[in-house]
Structure 1
């Protein structure tokens, strides 16, 4: 369970805002506690990430006024995708751990994972289009680079923790 908890930690780190909405699935007490811990952690980490982005982009006051609303919308989109991804991972883990992962469930989980990937790419594209009208393209690209690095770290941890289906 240690690896599973770490996977949830990494996945959830950026997703907490989406968890304030009602879930479609009844979570176990352990899962609910993990979500609660992640919401608390996200509140602490959120400002640090924002400060890091601010430092990396060195926005002028005029650019900042235009950038931060796009950033906030992008983060809300990422949080929603992270929530979907975490729900999908939890469903996979439940089926895997109870030895109930069959072809139909595996296909459904795979389709959801692919949908999330497509939706994430579309979000990045939409955000870039908005960003390049808010700030110079070089700064928009720099933001996407920083965001992509954060996403890559999260994805690496996810891949390392999810068991291979046999």
Structure 2
């Protein structure tokens, strides 16, 4: 397994996610199981929003709060991921000085992406059931790991 995916699926992250999902009660238990990293590309084929909707099983009230936050997050994170792809494409032709700059920028992208997830959690933590929010954040981390792996 590539190091990027391995780090994204660290045992501590998985333990916390599994604990939160199992503690969240029967609503999450009725949701479809999270796809494995190998199954994720096929699960994403109909569209990420479709996958998220199936995975979370939001109530009407939760949907009203969730989807605007989701849309804003997707716009912001798409910009970061596009920037990551541009930087990765530059690596082969970069000199040592530029490689150092690229490394700094890649680290900053990771920080910015984590900050965006914190904002999502903050905006939704009292509006969406905790287990559903954890599932969503875990799905985002899985998609991010998949995209990072494809970039490298």
Query: TM-score normalised by the shorter chain: which range applies?
Result: 0.5 to 0.7
CA–CA distance in structure 1, aligned partners of residues 131 and 73 of structure 2: 18
- CA deviation after TM superposition for structure 1 residue 75, in Å: 0.5
Q: Contact 2:85–2:151 (CA<8 Å) still a contact in 1?
A: no
- TM-score by structure 1 length? 0.60
Question: Which residue of structure 2 aligns with residue 140 of structure 1?
Answer: 133
- CA deviation after TM superposition for structure 1 residue 103, in Å: 1.8
RMSD: 1.7
Deviations 1:105-151 (A, max 9, x none): 11111111111111111111111111213211111111001111111
Question: Which residue of structure 1 aligns with residue 96 of structure 2?
Answer: 103
Question: Which residue of structure 2 aligns with residue 76 of structure 1?
Answer: 75
Question: Which residue of structure 2 aligns with residue 9 of structure 1?
Answer: none
- TM-score by structure 2 length? 0.66
CA distance 1:90–1:156, change in 2 (3 Å):
closer
Deviations 1:12-66 (A, max 9, x none): xxxxxxxxxxxxxxxxxxxxxxxxxxxxxxxxx7962111110110011111011
Deviation above 2 Å: which 4+ runs of structure 1?
Answer: 156-159
Question: Which residue of structure 1 aligns with residue 63 of structure 2?
Answer: 64
Question: Which residue of structure 2 aligns with residue 88 of structure 1?
Answer: 87
Deviations 1:69-114 (A, max 9, x none): 1111111111011121112112224x1xxxxx32211111111111
CA–CA distance in structure 2, aligned partners of residues 89 and 152 of structure 1: 15
CA distance 1:131–1:47, change in 2 (3 Å):
farther
Q: Contact 2:62–2:127 (CA<8 Å) still a contact in 1?
A: yes
Structure 2 runs not aligned, ≥5 long = 1-43
- Secondary structure of 1:133's partner? coil
Structure 1 runs not aligned, ≥5 long = 1-44, 96-100, 160-166
CA–CA distance in structure 2, aligned partners of residues 59 and 46 of structure 1: 21
